[in-house]
Structure formats: C-alpha cells, structure tokens
Chain A
Amino acid sequence: MATTPAAGQRRDRSRSAPAPLPAPGAAREWLATMLLIRRFEERAGELYAKAKIGGFLHLAIGEEATIVGAARALRDADYLISTYRSHGHAIARGTPPEAVMAELFGKRDGCSRGRGGSMHMFDLGRRFMGGYGIVGGNLPIAAGFGLSAELLRTDDATLCMFGDGASNQGTFGETMNLAALWRLPVVFMVTNNQFGMGTALARHSAVTDLQRKGESFGVPGVRCDGMDVADTHAVVGDALARAREDRQPVLVEAITYRFRGHSMADPEEYRTREQVAEWRRRDPIALWSQRLVDERVIDEADVEELDRQAVAKVDEAVAFADASPFPAPESLYDDVYVLGDQLRGWYSVDERGPEPHRGEREREMPAEEIPAREIYDRHAAGPHEGADERPADEAQDAGERAHDGERDG
C-alpha cells in the first residue's frame, strides 16, 4: 500500500494544480481496483435481480475513487471502518472478491461467514473493521479504535467513512467532540454523495458545506474531489498524518455521487436523469484512466486489459460463491457468545422445540435430526422464498439497470 506523506511534506492545499501522479505501479493498481469494484458492483446488481442475493443491496458505483483513494492512504495496520455500502471498501482493503461475493450469497466462505450480508462485511486480518447497518453507528466505534491506539501506545490511525446523512445523527457531534477532546488518531470522512437515501443534501442539512460540520467540536475540515482518486488520496493522506502525528482528528468531505439508486429498492424519483448524466461525465474511472493515458503512464490497450482482468476476477468470485456451501444448520448458535471456562452455555428457548437449551445443542446432534432441517434444506436448494415478495418496481428497476449500458461507461 502507498505510504503516508511525512509531516514535513504535507501537500499545499491551495488546489491550483491536480494532485501529482503516484508511481506508475500504484497508478495502475488504483485503476485496477476501481475497475474491480465497478465490475463487482454491476454483477452484484444483476445477481440481486436474479435473487441470488437477498436483503438490501447498496452499490457504490460512482464512488470508487473515494474508496480507493482513501484506502490507499492507509498503512496496513491502520483501521478502516465503513457503512452498509462497503463491498468496495472490503475489496480495496484486500479482502478477496470471492469472500465478499460469498457473503452476498449468504455462504459459509463469506467474509462474515454468511452472518452479516451486504451491510456487514468484515475482515479483521486486513483491519477492515466492518460495514455497519445503523447510520452513524460506526462513528463511536471508530473513536474506540483510536482510544485503543492511545491506551496501547500504537501508531495505528483509524479512517471512519460514513455518508452525508450520518452527519445529522447525534453520534456525529458526540464523537467529534470526544475525538477532539481526547486527541484521538481518527480521520472522519464524510462521503457526500448528495443524498441521505432519497433526501437531497440541502433538504436534510442546514449546513451543506459538510467539511465545516466538525469545526465547533474542535475537528477541522478539509474537502477532496471524491471523483479524483489522486486528490482523495492526497487529502486523506494529509489528514491521516495529522491524526497520527499531531493527534488531531480531521473531518474530510469527499464530494462524490452514486450513479445507482440508494439501494436496489430505489425508484429514484428524487433526482433527474439529467443530474445523473451530468455527474456521469465525471465518472471517476473514466477520469483516472484518461489522465493516465494522457500522461502516458498506460495506454488504451492497458485499460482494456485491466478491465478484462476485473471482469475475470468477478467471474471467479461468482463461481466461488456459487460453489461455497451455505453455513451448516448446526452452526446457527455459533459465535453468539465466546464460550469458555466462565461461560459454557446459556439457557435459551426458541420455536424449534419445547425444551430450553444451552446454545450448543445443535452441534452435538446428528445433522438429520436438527430441528427445522426440512426448512433449511428447502431454502438451501434454491432462491429463497422472500425473492417473490420484493416490490415489482424494485425487481424491474434492478433488471433494467443491469442492462443500461453502464458496462461501456
């Protein structure tokens, strides 16, 4: 991963010139990762329409530069924590696309073992500390990572990403205040994609200059062009250096846009096609590949090759997810608690039998005797029941969008 600029070399934020290009290898890798996220998200949308993926699905198409630029400013030991829109964050952090896709499929080999789904990706080994389903819920947790770094005297910084909508939650102000008060090494990054679900920024936030929202709590703000991976990388790198070395938490606002709806269940009646088209002209992948071609870092053929590789990786991820088994029924009660000498089990009750059990009973039973085995088998056999119950416009929306020509964009 790219290294953080040293304190003495912090970038002048006068913004007169574009951020300098990184080394050719890094420039190429950023493009490859953005393409991988784009192709991954497109395929996820298609598979959602085919009911291979359940629940909600929030795609980050359009936000790839924000994700990759920020993630590449981190050291390996730094913590990244994100939201329910986090497939790309996991991939950028190095989680294999296979594990992310398997998680979307609810499979055993998913990065959260099929317990979390789209909104709750996690990869401790790569210090991707999770997608979180509650808007604003991840901010205090991020500050907790910073507190651990403080108490354990490590050099690890935390990057906490959240959306513009989360800046209205109580946890935003509470966490800014505490992080500044205790001088925690945390960078807060608001991914301003212009909408809190379907409510436009100006309709949900009195202050629309979001980088300023931390000022009164003692958290200075900076802004980056979230459609420009190099600018995002430079600004987040500066912010991480301030957090790490000066113990000054910083709020970074990334100006970006999601080209798809909030989730697959979004008819998008709150914005115009013209606005979407306008933003698509600043497609972060097109911008970056064009710059690299213009500056002769790569050529058009390289871009096409990287794209082919991205599609191939997604193909492999889908094949892997398809082949992975569902988590075994006897694993239902695994990991509710850490069992050990102090806690050997707990009394619980559920609908599967009249007798209370201690949570571990399933593991001791022959598989065929597991209560509800028949229901499990039925759902493991094919698309789940809930698939037919999706609103018609949603399924239609997903189907149409899967063919709206984005692959050429």
Chain B
Amino acid sequence: MAVMRYREALNQALREELARDERVFLMGEDIGVFNGAYKVTAGLLEEFGEARVRDTPISENTIVGMGVGAAMTGTRPVVELMTINFSLLALDQIVNHAAHIRYMFGGQVAVPLVVRMPQGAGHQLGPTHSHSFEALYLHVPGLLVAVPSTPADAKGLLKSAIRDDNPVIFIEHEYLYGQRGDVPDPHDGEHLVRFGEAALRREGTDVTIVGISRMALTAARAAEALADEHDVSAEVIDPRTLRPLDLDTILASVRKTNRCVIVEEGWPHGGVGANLAALVGEQAFDWLDAPVGRVTGADVPMPYSKPLEQIAFPHEPQVVAAALATLRDS
C-alpha cells in the first residue's frame, strides 16, 4: 500500500494504461503543457509525447465527438473535460452518439471511450461551475457511469474504464482531488476495481446510508456521529458505479437494517436518490420500517455567497437528521 492523493492515483492509472496499451491516448483542454487544470495529467506529455497526450482547443462537443470516431476505428481515447459543467456543451456527442451508436447500428461497432471530468460544489464558483450531474448520465442507456470517492477506487475504476469496450462517463470530484488514501502498490499486481460492485464502507445494523461520489465520505462521517452521539449503528455503502448499479448489495443491507437514507450532492428531482428510492421501494418494500430518506443538494442553481453555498449541499448534520428520522418513524 502507498498513501497518495486522489489526483495522484488517477495520474498513476493513466500512466499505467498509456504504458500498457499503445491504442490508449488522452485529449483535452490544457492537459499537456499546462499539466491539466487539476493536475491529473501532470508529467504525462513529457513521458508519452504529443501524439498521445493532446492539448485541444476549447471545443467540448467536437473533442468528445472525435473521441467517439476514434474509438469506433481502433483506438481507446480518454477525453478530459475540464469540469462536468462543460459537458453540457458535449451532450449531443455523449448521448446521441457515444451512448447510441452501438445500438442504432445493430451492434456492428463499439465505442471504447472514457470521458473524465470533475464535478461538485464548495469552491464558490457559482451557478455555472458547481454542478453535480451523475443523475443526468445515469439516465442514459448505453453509458457506464463511475463516481469514485477514494484514491484506490479512482485508480482501479479508471483502469477498468479504459479497458472496457463501452463509453464510460467517469465523474471525479474537485474536492476529492486533494484527499489522501491507501492505494495498492503496483508491484503487488494490477489494481482493478470492477464496475457494478459496491463498497461496504462501514458495517451497521440500524440504518443503511448510501452515499454517492463525495457524499460517500459525508455519509461515513455521519455514521461516526450517529454511533458516537446517538448510539445508532449505520451501515454505509458507496455504490462506486451507478451504471451498472450493484443494487443487490444495497438491497441486502436494507433487508438487514430495514431503513435506508440516500445522500447525493445533486438536485432532488429526478436524482440518483429518487431513482434508488424507487428501486428499494419496489424490491424491498416488505423489509422497510420507514420511508426511504433522501438528502440532496438544494433545488436551486448554486449560489456564490459562501454561507449560502454551504447550505445548498449536504453535510453530516443533515445526514444524521435524516437517519434519525427513519428511526423515529418506525
């Protein structure tokens, strides 16, 4: 094991996959000479050269579209969008093309493309630079969606994403880039994390808390507070990927605890939690002792002002309160 930051783990994953498979290449805005807006690609241009680490103009839809075309014809592009907010400019290529090409052309071709981008609020970037869009991409059949919350998962999932033959929306988090964690040493063998396998972050018996992306960390801290201050034993699950979704692990936990709270940073309507609550309701209704609780970002564009912004996305106290509410209702 080695302790490293989330961004370093991602960098290691990219470096290993570039070295392993010469069909892999990177392109994105300022990923080369500038070393990446969040330094995830630092040093890669120097190591792998301009052909495989390509600085692009600011043309999100076309960068992704070129990735689609390149992926259809024998290469394995990894496209970085500077933030998920800019992926809205590329939605046509992501949804109409990357996600649908294999199906609409009768399975004749695959699109092994990875689109990486960070999301999240908390840096006072206001309404156009603070989105959380995992629900948007979760909506689309044909895409895989990863939301790693730890350095180890960031590395293992990114390596798996690059090797997968499907288009992958790989959602990083601006807050998480600087977080440290244990990552298995490359000398101990390849560290791959399979899509569709949730991580049980903490075992518990009273309530299941599912945390998405950064909210997996918030959920874990809330679980500590629940144990320390309320004598409540919370089980914390990080799904790690939303497509495919490891619903079985979540359902097994809910059947044990009989209560469920879902925590996400995005908006409440049509959110990950809305979807998951419906699935849990359909699949585990008889085991539920309380309605499924959701803690989400506020239903507003993200405000700039610090105190307003801070109350517009979830923190531990809201998660604790939601968990306690499921216990009160029963």
Is the Cβ of B195 less than 8 Å from the Cβ of A141? no
The listed residue (B66, B107, B244) touching A147 by CB distance below 8 A is B66
Inter-subunit contact A141/B66 (CB<8 Å): yes
Shortest CB-to-CB span from B199 to chain A, Å, is: 17
Is B56 engaged at the interface, CB distance under 8 Å to the other chain? yes
Query: A145 near B72 (CB under 8 angstroms)?
Result: yes
Point out which of A141, A146, A334 has the most chain B C-beta atoms below 10 A from its C-beta. Answer: A141
**With A141-B68, A345-B244, A356-B247 in contact, is A152–B74 under 8 Å at CB?**
yes
Cα separation A340 to B96 with both chains bound (whole Å): 24
Whether the Cβ atoms of A335 and B65 lie closer than 8 Å is no
Segment with Cβ contacts to A, from B6-14, B97-105, B295-303: B97-105
Alpha-carbon distance between A313 and B34 when the two chains are bound, in angstroms = 58
Chain A residues closer than 8 Å to B194, beta-carbon distance: 342
Q: Is the CB of A134 within 8 A of B69?
A: no
Known contacts A140-B61, A175-B62, A342-B195; is-contact A147 B103 (Cβ 8 Å)? no
Contact A120 to B65, CB < 8 A, known contacts A338-B165, A347-B244: no
Asked if B166 is at the interface (CB within 8 A of a chain A CB), the reply is: yes
Question: Does residue A174 face the partner (Cβ distance < 8 Å to B)?
Answer: yes
Q: Does any Cβ of B come within 8 Å of A122's Cβ?
A: yes
Q: Which of B195-225 contact A (CB under 8 A)?
A: 195-196
B106 located at the interface, meaning its Cβ lies under 8 Å from any Cβ of chain A in the complex: yes
- Residues of chain B contacted by A404 (CB below 8 angstroms): none
Residues of chain A in range 139-155 having any CB-CB distance to chain B below 8 Å: 139-152
The segment out of A109-117, A261-269, A283-291, A375-383 that lies at the interface is A109-117
Find out whether the CB atom of A116 lies under 8 angstroms from the CB atom of B106.
yes
- Let me know if A270 is at the binding interface, CB within 8 A: no
Identify which of B25, B62, B71, B244 contacts A171 (C-beta below 8 A). B62
Inside 8 A of B62's CB, which chain A residues have their CB?
139-140, 143, 171, 174-175, 178
Q: Would you give the 0/1 interface string for B64-79, flagging 1 where the beta carbon is closer than 8 Å to chain A?
A: 1111111111110100
Of all chain A residues, which has the CB nearest B160? A342
Find A143's partner among B66, B109, B283 (CB 8 Å cutoff).
Answer: B66
Name A127's closest neighbour in chain B (CB-CB): B73
A139-B63 Cα distance, complex, nearest whole Å: 11
> How many A-B residue contacts, CB cutoff 8 Å?
173
Q: B residues within 8 A CB of A174?
A: 57, 59, 61-62
What are the residues of chain B within 8 A of A123 when measuring CB–CB?
A: 108
A113 with B107: CB separation less than 8 A: yes
Q: Say how far A97's CB is from chain B's closest CB, in angstroms.
A: 17
Nearest-CB residue, chain A, relative to B247: A347
User: Cβ of B68 and Cβ of A140 under 8 Å apart?
Assistant: yes
Asked if A346 and B245 make an inter-chain contact with CB atoms under 8 angstroms apart, the answer reads yes
A110 touches B65 (CB 8 A): no
Smallest Cβ-Cβ distance to B163: which chain A residue:
A342
- Pick the contact of B279: A335, A347, A358 (CB < 8 A): A347
* B59 pairs with A144, CB closer than 8 A: no
A133 at the interface (CB under 8 A from B): yes
Residue in A115, A129, A181, A336 whose beta carbon sits within 8 Å of that of B141 in the complex: A336
Q: Mark A316-358, 1 if CB is under 8 A from B, else 0.
A: 0000000000000000001111101011111111000011101
- B17 on interface, CB distance cutoff 8 Å: no
> For A79, A142, A334, A347, which residue has the most chain B Cβ atoms within 10 angstroms?
A347
With both chains docked as a complex, state the minimum distance between the C-beta of B118 and any C-beta of chain A, in angstroms.
Answer: 23
Please tell me if B110 contacts chain A, counting CB pairs below 8 Å. yes
> Given A334-B107, A336-B142, A342-B194: A181 and B279 within 8 A (CB)?
no
Q: Which of A111, A114, A143, A343 interacts with B65 by CB under 8 Å?
A: A143
Chain B 124-150: CB-based contact to A (< 8 A → 1; otherwise 0): 000000000000000001101000000
A146's nearest neighbour on chain B, judged by CB, is: B69
Interface: A94 (CB within 8 A): no
Q: Is A205 an interface residue (CB 8 A)?
A: no
A137 and B66 contact, Cβ closer than 8 Å, known pairs A338-B110, A356-B279:
no
- Taking a contact as CB atoms under 8 Å apart, the answer to whether A133 and B96 are in contact is yes
Shortest Cβ distance from A151 into B: residue: B75
Q: How far is the CB of A297 from chain B (nearest CB, A)?
A: 37
Give 5 closest A-B pairs by Cβ, nearest first. Answer: A144-B69, A140-B65, A113-B106, A335-B107, A141-B69
Known: A130-B101, A182-B54, A336-B103. 11 other contacts (CB 8 A): A112-B104, A122-B105, A130-B105, A139-B62, A144-B71, A144-B77, A148-B75, A151-B52, A174-B62, A336-B141, A342-B164
Binding site for B on A (CB under 8 A): 79, 110-116, 120, 122-124, 129-130, 132-134, 137, 139-152, 170-171, 174-175, 177-178, 181-182, 334-338, 340, 342-349, 354-356, 358
Pick 20 A–B contacts, CB within 8 A, sort by A.
Answer: A110-B106, A112-B104, A116-B104, A134-B96, A137-B92, A140-B61, A141-B66, A144-B71, A145-B72, A145-B73, A152-B74, A177-B57, A178-B59, A181-B57, A338-B166, A340-B165, A343-B195, A346-B196, A346-B244, A356-B283
Residues of B within 8 A of A (CB): 23, 25, 51-52, 54, 56-57, 59, 61-75, 77, 92-93, 96-97, 101-110, 141-142, 144, 160, 163-166, 194-196, 243-245, 247, 278-279, 282-283
